[in-house]
Each structure stands twice: as structure tokens, then as C-alpha cells.
Chain A
């Protein structure tokens, strides 16, 4: 059974169809990449998968439960977490606190018990602290733990976002262009991180423009163009698919000539 099962997905904005009749399945514990030229609808797809947009038609089933119609915080509760293409850091907080927010769903205290600092709060704080530390360590961020988020370089923040998402212990992690804006060293680190996440048993849905990275880490790849499914398969199948080459690389070749 697939972890994520997307059927007949369609969404349009003011008459412009961004995603049309898209279907695909993400198997359990794999790195599944979604690629396509700019404006193909990848981020729109992510926003539907995470409950930010509501599709006009179609269904998104996660572990056989419908995502469509749930608010993002409900989707998160199902075990889906994500990172963002343009950083969505909590810049008003420290790195540790950012990641502690990721533990929100694993802790349960309320405003009122927190206000009175009932004994369970102390325990919960220690627990959240330990989880957040663990996630930061996993992403190789131990030296930034107590720094304010707004003092850190872009490449580090990209990883803090991932640590924050991992602190929620998701079953599926949606990564929206994790390597965008990273230099070569950082990209290699990101590749290793994605592999480690996958090895930890977390399924990854990856949107990325860096083809080298995609080919190296992905188990399967979905190609979309103008919001429709163009091809799907193993990395080598995609690399040799004439339709993909035309839509994706063909344009570049023409420019080069």
C-alpha cells in the first residue's frame, strides 16, 4: 500500500489551471522527487499536500486518510511535516526554540497550566529540550543551538528548518527545494542529510531543481510540466525519457544553440 496516494488532483487560480488531473503514489520509506520546469506547479502541489490550498477536484490520501479539507495543523497531526522554498523561520526566536516549536505535536500542555507552571510543565520542557537537541544534532547544527535565528547564514537556516520539521517526528517529510541557494559544499551536506533522513525510516517527498542531487538521492521521480504528469519512474528511466529531455533539457539546449 502506498503511503501517499494522489488521484485526479486539479486546482486552478482565477481560470488558470495550475495542476491538472495529477496522479501519483509515494511508496513507504523512499525518497520520491517531483521535478519540472519553473512554474510547473510543484510548490502548488506541496501547498495542497500540506493543506494550505484546497484542490478543486481530486483526492490526496495519506495512509488511507483523506487530506483534502483539513487545515494545515490537522495535516501535520497526521504525520506530515514540511520545509519551505523561501525560508519560513521564526526569526524572533533562537535556533533551539525554533526546533522546540517542532515538538508542538509531541507535547500537550495548555496555556492555563503553563501560566501556573504546574509540575508537568517542567517535565515537558525538559523532554522538548531533549527532542529538539536530538533533531539539531541529527542535522549537524549543535554549534548553533543557542544562537538567535536571525543571526545565521542562509545555508544553516535551511537545515534548521529541516531540524524543526524532524522534531515533529513526521512519517512523511515534504522538502521544497532544500538545495536552492546552497553552495557546492552545502549541497553535498544536504544530500547526506536527505540520505540520513531516509535511512531513519522517514519518507521524503522532494522538490528540487538541482538535477545532480535529485538523481543521486531519489528512489523514484515524478516529472510534471504545466501542471500535468509528464513521466514517472526510476531515475535512470527519467534520465533517458525523450519526453522529459524535450520538456526539461530541450529548452536549455535550444538556448545554448
Chain B
């Protein structure tokens, strides 16, 4: 159960928060948005943090999911649920097709290619006005309903997205701690050695790319139904960069780190509003500071700091014991 202790902690936090702060804007509104970001960051982290394949186009898959749901429900009158599946299927196929050629690239080249992918998808969304509503976006997207339970309030969306986040975190943790997860980390560590251990690196990269895209697509669909409105701005290049920042800030190759990064980057701008004009400057300063002082990311960095502190305390305790023991010995000698 140790493997999932962090997961249970997260679950408890998600359940308890709305009871401690009922009807709180930061919990049910910003929290929902943080939850969605966390889902995206966790999926991107599988690809980027664990498998070491950078993607600057993750928002594209989020956007495809969102627009598939938006278009099918508003223009063709579909029930929202199947549109989530259709969006995921469409995204999955697209990701599969582009994965092979793109993932042959490494480092900066891969970053460029995924950047291009994100921009292309964004252009499609803006230009296909007859379908997507163009720059004005699409409104009137119906909300989800589960056996008559309409997800029509902030609190209910909190429940849905909280549950979805827990599912995604659980899936990610399971993957990491398995044969496939080790294959991902191995190809990050040394591609040639991974191949030599029998790992089909091309197929493994494709697999994780598709999986990350699928999760992003589902998150996109849910986002569309929750907002009831989508516009191209939500899926731009800048959002992809924001997602990368969440992963890096929280800590690469740490699922909880990705969640933490997403939460911080969602809440920080809300909290910095009080600084008005200086908001962006302080925001940038915090990012720079974290990268300089905690290059492994907040989560891993803080974990290590904690470990160091406890170790120091232990050592101090041991030292105290040792001096006590020698003192006793000396006392005994004195008696003898």
C-alpha cells in the first residue's frame, strides 16, 4: 500500500477541501481548473518526464477533444458522452499517425516538430469557421448528466473533475511501476541500452504519445462541457508552454510533482492579482527562482530537503546518544 500512499493523501485532500471551505471560489472554480490542468500535466509528464520526449504541442490534443465534443453536441445534437469517446478515438488515431515520424526526432528537433503540430491544429481551429466557429468560438455546449444527475453547478463539476484526476493519477502511478513504465524510463536513460534489453523503443514512444494524447483529449471534452463554450485561445501555443512549465516546475518524472506544478501555476496568477501590474513580473521571478534553487522541481526538491532535515535530526539524535553512552562509560570507570 506504500506505493499508493500519496494517492490516498491526494484523494483525502480532494474530498475534504470542499467541506472545510464550502462554496469557496478558490475550491470550486479555481480548483476545477487546477484539476483539469493537473490531468493534462500528469499525461504530459508520462511523455516528457518519464519517457524523456518533449512535447510543445500538448494543447493540440486537448483542443481536438474539446472541439470534437463541442461540434458534435452543438451542431449535430449528439449526447455528450459518446462525443468524449469519439474525440478520444479521433485524437488517438491522429496521435498514432504523427507519432512515428515525429518521435524519430530528438531534443530540439522533437520540440520544433511538436510545436509545429500544435500550431497547425490551432490554425485549423481558427480557419475552419463553418465548423468550429472560428476565432469567435462555439457556445451553448450542453453539460454532462449522469443518470439524471445534471452536472450543472461548480460543486458538481468539482466532484466530476476531482474523480477524473484521481483516476488519471492512479493510471499513471500504475504504469510507472510496471514493465511498461520501466521501459519508458529506460528509453529516457539510454535508448541504445533500452533497445538492447529488448525494448522496442519506437513502439514504446508511440504508445506513450498516444496515451498522453488520449488523456488530454478526454480532459478537453470535459473542459468543453464544463465551460459550455470553447474558443481557440484556450488551445494556443502558450497553453502548451504553460503545461510544460507545470511539469518542469513540479518536477519531471514525478506524477505528484506534475499535480503540484499544475495547482501552483493555476493558483498563483489568482493570488498575484493583488499586485496588479507587477503580477507577471513576480510570476516570472518565482519560476526563475525555483529553477535556479530547485532544478529538480518543487516536489522532488522539497522531498529531498525534507529528507536532509530528518537525516540531520537523526544524526544529531545519534550523536547525543553516543555522547551519553561515553559519559556513562566514563562514569562506570569512575565507579570502578
A93, B197: Cα distance in complex, Å: 15
Closest B residue to A149 using CB positions: B189
- Report the interface size for chain B: residues with CB under 8 A from the other chain: 29
Chain B 164-188 interface mask (CB, 8 Å, partner A; 1/0)? 0000000100110111111101101
> Quick check: which of B198-206, B218-226, B276-284, B318-326 contacts chain A, the rest being far away?
B198-206
Determine the main DSSP class of B at the interface with A: helix
A152 to chain B, nearest CB (A): 14
Q: Counting chain A CB atoms within 10 Å of each CB, which of B181, B192, B197, B207 scores highest?
A: B197
For A93, the chain B residues whose CB sits under 8 A away are 182, 185-186, 189
User: Does A168 sit within 8 A of B, measured CB to CB?
Assistant: yes
A89 touches B200 (CB 8 A): no
Q: Choose among B178, B195, B201 the residue with the greatest number of A CB atoms under 10 Å from its CB.
A: B178
User: Do A97 and B185 have beta carbons less than 8 Å apart?
Assistant: yes
Q: Does B193 contact A (CB under 8 A)?
A: yes
B1 beta carbon closer than 8 Å to chain A? no
Residues in B neighbouring A164, C-beta threshold 8 A: 193, 197
Are B171 and A102 neighbours in the complex by a CB distance under 8 Å?
A: no
Distance from A79 Cβ to chain B, minimum over Cβ atoms (Å)? 10
Q: Are A104 and B207 in contact (CB under 8 A)?
A: no
Complex Cα spacing A165 to B193, Å: 10
Which of A77, A90, A128 meets B198, CB within 8 Å? Answer: A77
The digit string for B240-255, where 1 denotes a CB below 8 A from any CB of A, is 0000000000000100
Which residues does chain A contribute within 8 Å of B332, judged by CB atoms? none
B195/A73 in contact, CB under 8 A: yes
Task: Pick 19 A–B contacts, CB within 8 A, sort by A.
Answer: A71-B195, A72-B195, A73-B195, A73-B196, A76-B196, A82-B196, A84-B193, A88-B193, A89-B189, A89-B193, A91-B189, A92-B185, A93-B189, A101-B197, A105-B197, A111-B208, A114-B174, A114-B180, A128-B179
Residues of B within 8 A of A (CB): 171, 174-175, 177-183, 185-186, 188-190, 192-201, 207-208, 211, 253
